[in-house]
Structure 1
Amino acid sequence: MIRPPLLQRELFREMLLISGICLGGFLCLILLGRLLQLRDLFMAQGVTLLDLLKLFVFLSPLFLILLIPVSCMMGLFLTFLRMGADRELISLRAGGISFWPLMPAPLLLCLCGTALTLWISLSGISWGMDNFRQTVVEMARHKTSVNIQPGVFNTSFPGLTVYATQADPGSGALSDVFVLDSSKSESSATIVAPKGLIDSDVEQGQVFVLLENGHIYRRQGEELSVVSFDRYLLSLDMTKLLGGFELKDKAPKEMSWEDLRTLAAGAYADRSEHFQRRVQMEMHKRFSLPAACLVLGLFAMPLAFFFQGMKRQFGLLVCLGAFFFYYVMLSAGMSLAESGVVSAVLALWTPNVVFLLAAAGGMWVVAGEREADFRSIGAWVMRAFGLRKADS
């Protein structure tokens, strides 16, 4: 007979291994998707693969607070599904080990996942986003390149279109320059000059376009003004050259827990109601997602008992389907809370309550070795919604 401590160790080891594989797989899929989105940046600028991986490391806390709960769920589900397929659960019951003695190892894994997710949500997110912003600025200052192709309308600068008949990549000298400046929404300017010079200052993070002996045609509304100049200097922020990485003010999801508490204490009295709702929603999210590790893990355990004997590939689909339902409930609640239809408490905690009740019901059925009659449950649901007449 297997001793309980040995059983718990083996269970925990297998569940931890599967959860780690799932977490790594999900994270790699997200990183590959981001790489495909940034392929133009990777090929056009002087950004290496190592630089992009560094950015993804700093962005990973935003993904991990959602990936860790689903990984814990899948680790528990696939472990017990495998044990059911190998008839190990039947052997354990025959040896006198019922449902409840199997709980310590899954509960320990869920608590570890909850603690890790809670630490990431309270500290890791702000650490990652602060380093992400700093790294983007450094990359923009030291690794982005400035190239103007002759005879081509160059639009690599946000809000600026540059054309030159001749361009020397070594010296940066330009001939017959045409510049369309639309960076200001209220007015646009067209600049024409016979010659110019383009250069960059990596320390200041700026790109300079120096034009000589030209004209500026500025249109504002129905008025058109023409100004002549001897020398005209355009200055651009190089951080805007990193396409897709636009540094704005911090959103609530990027803030630290201390910043959120400060805002909630009344510092956002002059901000919009929409912003206030986002702050409240983010504060509850920092605790509801860590709690989801425990809730989804407890839900996955009886679910695996219900589907004993199912092949792993089909079990994987069942588990992902259950998490997809959880995510749909969470996303819908967040949308409603952001629009002010429901409160942040109701939106962020309803999925956990629903799945916790389902987990409690499933454990009651499994622990009592009762049969879950899914056909009768389905018929009852259909009758409740009027899709089927009640039996006479």
Structure 2
Amino acid sequence: MFKELLGLFLLCAGSLLTLLLIGRLLQLRDLFLNQSLGFFDIIKMFTFLSPFFLLLLIPIACMLAVFLTLLRMNTDLESTALRASGVSLYQLLPAPILLAVLCTAITWWISFSGLSWGMENFRATVMDLARSKTQLVLQPGVFNKEFPELTLFAQQADGRSGELKTVFVKDTSRGSQPATILAPRGHVHTDTSEGEIIFQLYDGKIYREEKDGASVIGFGTYQVRMDLSRMLGGYKLGSVRPKEMSWNRLHEYQTELKTGKDVHSREYKLRKVAVEIQKRLVFPFACIVLGLFAVPMASMFGGLHRHWGLLLALGFFLFYYTLLSLGLSLGETGVVPPAIGLWIPNALFSVAGLYGIRQAALERSVRIVELSQHLNVRNLFRRKKADVR
């Protein structure tokens, strides 16, 4: 039984992960096309993105595996034969519980370490792509127009160190007030934390066109910042968000917010971090909760075809995820404490699952399929009786 559970779990998790990655591939197609990535580069980037999706997919794959396995046993009357030979439902529970515990352990690792590992490597890979493209664009003695709204010329340019000599920059990012910048030397580098390319110029002048003429401003140091997302097909990097942080980094960030001076946005950010911390705890335990909930659900829908059973199981998970999303929204807005709002779905499904297992073990569970068939037969009998009259 555990072998069949494990096989179905791998099949469900692999299928759902493939669908999500294909959807993300369509979102990032401009990034891949602009950077001319090879097949193995794409595989590597999707490997780094996988933990982000698996945090949600593993609980639903665990639920589907338990539900479909027990549904098949009920449909093929294997459960009836086992009960007739003296094997109770409680004796079948170790296999689903073992699968749920393994899924919980994997999700726990992803939640505490794997998620941040994947996102850090994904961001680092994207940043490397941006650096390599910048080095290719910066060729000495050539007017480079590859940077959006910037025209860059350097008489000398070192692609490795980023050093520039005799620099000319035409900045049209401000629309009606374009600026021409001349500097004897400069330097180009990337800001990994903010996802920006920075052109740092020294001892130069800025020429701006105005309505009445032109203005000239001298400077010692001047920076031209450009968002890397404008070079990477629209993919936004920005600063590291709480959902990309590790467990330890989340708590450090929470402490920094409490002692910070930014009072205006501190409360919202603190709520967002608190919600993320609770979410990292909720998903691992969701594997056990949903796995146990699937046991009586399979008994209730015994006799149902597998594809209908799959749709029903997805419907129950959608209901669970809707409650979880509601808890996330209420927690971020401060209406409900995150420690309560995010744990309500697990609590409700735990109570329903344990009660359903007890009822199924006593063979008191309502079999929905048989009930619907019984109602259809009764309605048909009433119609025939009415026709006779």
Which bin holds the TM-score, normalised by the shorter protein?
Answer: 0.7 to 0.9
Aligned to 1:84: 74
Shift of 1:56: 1.9
Corresponding residue number in structure 2 for 1:249 = 239
Matched, 1:298 2:301: no
1:40 matched to 2:55? no
Distance 1:21 1:254, change over 3 A: same
In the other structure, the counterpart of 2:46 is: 56
The separation in 2 between residues aligned to 1:277 and 1:23, in whole angstroms, is: 31
Measure, in 2, the Cα distance between the counterparts of 1:261 and 1:228: 45
Counterparts of residues 168-247 of structure 1 (less than 5 Å): 180-182=172-174, 189-191=177-179, 216-218=207-209, 225-227=214-216, 239-240=228-229, 241-247=231-237
- C-alpha distance in 2 between matches for 1:248 and 1:203: 12
Amino acid at match of 2:277: M
The superposition leaves residues 267-321 of structure 1 with CA deviations (integer Å, 9 ceiling, x where unpaired) of 5332510110111111111111100000000001110011111001100000000
Please tell me whether residue 347 in structure 1 is matched to residue 335 in structure 2. no
Post-superposition offset of 1:134: 1.5
State how 1:368-383 maps to structure 2 within 5 Å: 368-372=362-366
Q: CA deviation at 1:100?
A: 0.5
1:65 equivalent in alignment to 2:65: no
Return 5+ residue gaps in structure 2 as ranges. Answer: 139-144, 153-168, 182-186, 372-389
1:286 aligns with 2:276: no
Q: 2 CA distance for matches of 1:157 and 1:242?
A: 11
Measured in 2, the distance between the counterparts of 1:343 and 1:360 equals 26
Task: Decide whether aligned partners of structure 1 residues 315 and 263 sit closer, same or farther in structure 2, where only a CA change above 3 A counts.
Answer: same
Aligned counterparts, 1:141-180, within 5 A: 141-143=131-133, 146=137, 157-158=147-148, 160=149, 180=172
**Matched-pair contact (CA < 8 Å) for 2:299–2:367:** no
Counterpart contact for 2:101–2:288, Cα < 8 Å:
yes
Q: Which is worse superposed, 132-141 or 28-37?
A: 132-141
Amino acid at match of 1:180: T
- 3-state DSSP class of the match of 1:242? coil
CA contact (8 A) 2:189 2:197 kept: yes
Give the corresponding residue for 1:386.
none
Q: Deviations over 1:9-62 (max 9, x none)?
A: xx1110111011111111111111111112222223332332232222112211
Note if contact 1:12-1:106 (Cα within 8 Å) is conserved in structure 2.
yes
Distance, in Å, in 1 between the alignment partners of 2:298 and 2:68 is 7
CA contact (8 A) 1:142 1:202 kept: no
1:347 is aligned with what amino acid? G
CA distance in 2, matches of 1:312, 1:365: 23
CA shift for structure 1 position 360: 1.4
List per-residue Cα deviations over 1:40-93 (Å, max 9, x = no partner).
Answer: 222233323322322221122111111000000000001111111111111111
* Per-residue CA distance 1:222-271 (angstroms, 9 max, x = gap): 99744499xxx996658441234333222111111112223444653325
The 1:209–1:266 alpha-carbon spacing in structure 2 relative to 1, beyond 3 Å, is closer
1:91 alignment partner AA: A
Q: Which amino acid aligns with 1:285?
A: K
Do residues 112 (structure 1) and 106 (structure 2) align? Answer: no
The code of the aligned residue for 1:76 comes to V
Q: Which amino acid letter does the alignment assign opposite residue 273 of structure 1?
A: E
Work out whether residues 216 and 226 of structure 1, in 8 Å CA contact, stay in contact via their aligned partners in 2. Answer: yes
Deviations 1:180-223 (A, max 9, x none): 223xxxx8632579xxxxxx97999969799xxx994456xx99
Residue of structure 2 in register with 1:326 after alignment: 320
Which residue number in structure 1 is paired with residue 385 of structure 2? none
Q: Structure 2: which amino acid aligns with 1:24? A: G
Match of 2:159 in 1: none
Q: Give 3-state SS (helix, strand or coil) of 1:248's partner.
A: coil
Q: 1:75 to 1:373 in 2, by over 3 A?
A: closer
User: In structure 1, how many angstroms separate the alpha carbons of the residues matched to 2:21 and 2:94?
Assistant: 34
Instruction: Please tell me the root mean square deviation across aligned C-alpha atoms, in Å.
Output: 3.8
For residue 28 of structure 1, the aligned residue among 12, 18, 25 is 18
Letter in 1 for 2:306: R
- The answer to whether residue 111 in structure 2 is matched with residue 121 in structure 1 is yes
